Chains A and B, each alone.
Chain A
């Protein structure tokens, strides 16, 4: 596991050897398999993965809706795994918001405090404060069925934040919103996390959402955490093929390890030439390996130097902000290069012409598998 990017903080949530098995006998499904993760105080931590990877299961174990088959879940050092949800200072923002339809916006937001037995004056004050925080003051007495999806989202956030939980869990809260609203809410969530100082654990399958919002990301697949790191770590230095594939576009190149030192290896590429590639912590590459190069970390050259990989330009796709060049390398594989479009740049490339591909310094990363 890659510990790079972890920040020195008190740990808010620790999962220790957590497994969750649903069903029994032949129908048993191992949703989580021996997961270890430490989430720091005041961190925006994202569990990222495709559906069925176990990210929501982990979130539900932390919330208390399910109980782990094995392992411990600690909240500030205390094992909370056997506690029911109403005894955990942890609140959840649900994917479908789960607002109470028979209550007003204010009653929804005040519900948690009311259940905690807070006096009415305190609840009113806190509800007002929360409504201001999510900028919904004027909708205080509306029914939840009378407000839009984005507004419901804000009420759900306010409701979960009102009791000042130690940790806020967010289960794909933005997936039901349209694109524009989702962008706004991403910024809004960052702001809320910053202003409240509460630890956020965010579950999503949207890699872009994860990259833009998180302090750290845990990439999950089939009940395992494959890699934990800062967005930059995860994007620039994916440790495994799955991580590289799941996040962004990637070029895979085969090669042979020539030599390696601390954190770096010299790789002789099957496509010709040699590159320096980063190595994930705890990996000792040898023999045949795969390296990854992000499309924007390589350059396309009309007049290649001798170190560049040779190929033929097959397709040019114009995207407005940038252009993608699909190159078929002389050695066989395809390679995609993304280049930002600069104003006034000449169209020097034509499909079918021979081109060179130059991999930037420190752009390549050796995969574990």
Chain B
């Protein structure tokens, strides 16, 4: 009897092991992709950032921390001393301001949009999702150029305003901070709306009724019930907007006209005209580290709100 039981247990254990190894096998493609397209390039960047720049691009295979030193300091060409130069930091800071502002404005516009979508009858909701995702069907570059055509001096808005005699000379919008913000907002709003929508769609609206029943006004229902319960969507949406806007390249380049350098342009320059691959690699890694640190504090703060 005991032997039979132990045999059964043994068989169960073996079946489980077989299942585990089968599951491992199934996850292999994903692991390969992550390794080849994620871990490996990152390692290459890491290695490059600790090498010396070759004069015409590429790297020399000699260990060096110059790239990281160059990020904050400039070597005086006469006496070889290091001098603190905040130029790169200013660019990083400017990018961070853009990213935070874009995220905040996306949240401000995205939340009501997502709420509106989530409160439509279920049969209509997919149409709204479709409408929100339509911009994705065309290329980012094309969309950004479209924005450019709308806001440039001879563009749609200025033409219309001048035809209506609201203004008599065009308002300069292109190549300004406003243009960059508008472009970022336009490109990344769906990334805010969709996670918010999926959170709000799952929201149990009976809870809203319950709060309403317990003397909460509409505004308090929003702050005390709807926002706390849609926090996962808010967190996800903010991350999905903040991270890509921080490293945005095409939008600031086209709509900012290169006058307002941002991290994306800066890094691209190092690999292009700058011919300093190690510096570009270091800049990319510093950006990544900054994002990770920001994320850490953000998720902690979000967690506190949730359990507060």
Contacts and interface: CB of A to CB of B under 8 A. Distances in A.
Contacts, number: 58
Contacts of A102: 228-229, 306
A92 B213 contact: yes
A49 to B, nearest CB: 21
A246 interface: no
A183 B213 CA distance: 27
B229 A101 contact: yes
A64 B228 CA distance: 24
A361 interface: no
Contact of B220 (A91, A96, A115): A115
A285 B229 CA distance: 60
Contacts of A84: 212
Given A98-B204, A102-B228, A102-B229, A86 B217 contact: yes
B225 A86 contact: no
Nearest to A60: B209
A111 B214 contact: yes
A63 B216 contact: no
Contacts of B213: 63-65, 85-86, 90-92, 160
A100 interface: yes
Given A86-B217, A115-B215, A100 B306 contact: no
Nearest to B206: A98
Interface string B214-234: 111100100011001100000
B215 A98 contact: no
Given A91-B214, A98-B204, A65 B228 contact: no
Given A94-B206, A115-B220, A100 B211 contact: yes
A99 B211 CA distance: 9
A259 to B, nearest CB: 54
Contacts of B224: 111
B212 A111 contact: no
A163 B216 CA distance: 12
A116 B306 CA distance: 23
B34 interface: no
Contacts of A326: none
Nearest to B214: A112
Interface of B: 204, 206-207, 209-217, 220, 224-225, 228-229, 306
Interface of A: 63-65, 84-86, 90-92, 94, 96, 98-102, 111-112, 115-116, 159-160, 163
